[in-house]
Amino acid sequence: MVRRLEAITLSVFRVLEEGFNRMFGQRWNPWYQLGALSYYFFWIVAFSGIYLFIFFDTSIQGAYQSMEQLTHRQWWLGGIMRSLHRYASDAMAITVTLHLLREFGLGRFRGARWFSWFSGVPLLWLMFAAAIGGYWLVWDELAQYIAVATTEWLDWLPSLSDPLARNFLSDETLSDRLFSLLVFMHVAIPLFLLFGMFIHIKRLKLAKTGTARGLAIGTMAALLSLSLIKPAVSMGAADMSKTVALVNIDWIYMNVYPLLDSWGPAGVWLLLVGISAALAVLPWLSPEKKGERIPAQVDPQNCNGCSWCFQDCPYEAITMIAHESKNGRRQAQVNPDLCTACGICAGACPSATPFRHVDELISGIEMPDFSVNRLKDETERKLAQLNGDNRVMVFGCDHALDIGCLETSGVAALNLPCIAQLPPSFADYVSRNEKVDGVMITGCGEDCFFRLGTRWTEERFHALRMPHLRTRAGHHKVKLCWAGSGEKHRLQAALDDYRRDLGAGQGKTFDEVSNG
């Protein structure tokens, strides 16, 4: 059931992603940067909040007036800051929710990735608590409604001996001390949220918390335009002697508040706690299938302690320890609980080269279910099938486009768990084969399933990261072209163009070829 929901969710996202790729390209596609956008909106909220706090009067009588003056008398900056604060908060809730749904669709909550998923659940509560607390501080009619509804909801909890709602019975029961406490909480909760966000990405190497510059500029322009077209304003001043009958609630953060009247506090607690608990235990409700993830294994006799695999592992599953048989040397060690079986480490190993003259090719670290020896055998089997002119060997990724659809008599295709599992030496090896005229490398692109596979592959093939291409033949006959699961036509067009160039004797050097 869970996996069926995953497939449905992912299919919806794939349609949206393909459309945005056509409009903006992979680099500026917001669906590929939902987590980074959430960080971006957080910082917008933080900096705009600091500006608002400078002019905010932390008293019952002065809070509403200070916000009114900031909104209307200083509309050219203070008003814009207030609107940015509001709309960036809403945008963060949207991107966080979409990020959660997309990670669910991709199945990135099982196995070694359980920690990031599990640690993200408390962040939802902190985010909503920070936003709802912010509405209190304006102290208008909406704040009055939220304060009364929230305290009555919290009072249902048996752990609270003194009812909170009694503080909002009349204007006389309110005090500046209470309001100062609310201000403190509105500052403290986001700090806890920021700390939780750090914990959330702790197990990820080089976690992407910054958006592409073009996307960041476009997003800020959209927020500024919205702030000018529809500025955030207050309702009438709060008056505890009157009952608020009609408010314009923020449906993004206060979507459950109407349920308090129909379901009651117990029903809403049951709903939210139930959803949170289901999300928290999802990695164990729908665990990995047996044999679905086989961690990388180290062969000490072939490990020279170079630490390239340690440097490239996206999930910090590899550490370097003293070599078990070579004094003064080191060897890699894999933590199976952190390994996602991406194979990026195998592509980094200098001993994973087909040029070695051995009976069985064994590298220092490799994937048991897709060893470097199997990679060599599969490659040679594919090469033997090629015939005709302008022959191209295509290496792809299991989590991107299924490149089997590209195969013809003149095109051979081989998928790997991640394109970064392919050592550059294999491109050298294939490019020197007389049956091949060119080599194409493809994969996820900006949306790498294993986060850093695309980046490390580009750096290796551009000689910016070890290991890299070494022979002249490799530099002249290799082309990179990233294509997602819905970009078959673009990849096919790039392949056709490449083969035509090869036929015309216009094969481009590696550095001149577009990466798609």
2-285: in CATH 3.30.565.10: no
CB 3 within 8 A of CB 18: no
The pLDDT-based confidence of 60 (bands split at 50, 70, 90) is confident
pLDDT of residue 469: 82
Phi, psi for 464 (deg, rounded to 5): -105, -5
Length of the chain: 516
CB 26 within 8 A of CB 32: yes
pLDDT(513) > 60: no
Give CA–CA dist 92/34, Å, rounded.
Answer: 9
Phi, psi for 439 (deg, rounded to 5): -125, 130
Expressed in percent and rounded to 5, the helix, strand and coil fractions of the chain are 55, 5, 35
The pLDDT-based confidence of 203 (bands split at 50, 70, 90) is confident
pLDDT(85) > 80: yes
Give CA–CA dist 120/113, Å, rounded.
Answer: 11
* SS3 assignment, position 6: helix
The pLDDT-based confidence of 239 (bands split at 50, 70, 90) is confident
Q: CATH 1.20.810.10 residue ranges in the chain?
A: 2-285
Over residues 386-401, the pLDDT tens digits come to 999 999 999 999 999 8
Phi, psi for 281 (deg, rounded to 5): -95, 5
Residue 397: Cβ-neighbour burial (10 angstroms; 0-12, 13-18, 19+): buried
Give CA–CA dist 167/225, Å, rounded.
Answer: 39
Over residues 141-188, the pLDDT tens digits come to 999 999 889 988 988 888 756 667 666 666 677 788 888 888 999 999
Q: What's the mean per-residue pLDDT of the chain?
A: 91
pLDDT of residue 245: 76
Over residues 340-347, the mean pLDDT reads 96
Over residues 15-48, the pLDDT tens digits come to 999 999 989 888 999 999 999 999 999 999 999 9
Residues with Cβ within 8 Å of residue 333, at least 6 apart in sequence: 298, 318, 319, 320, 321
Over residues 196-214, the mean pLDDT reads 92
Element counts in the chain: helices (H) and strands (E): 17, 8
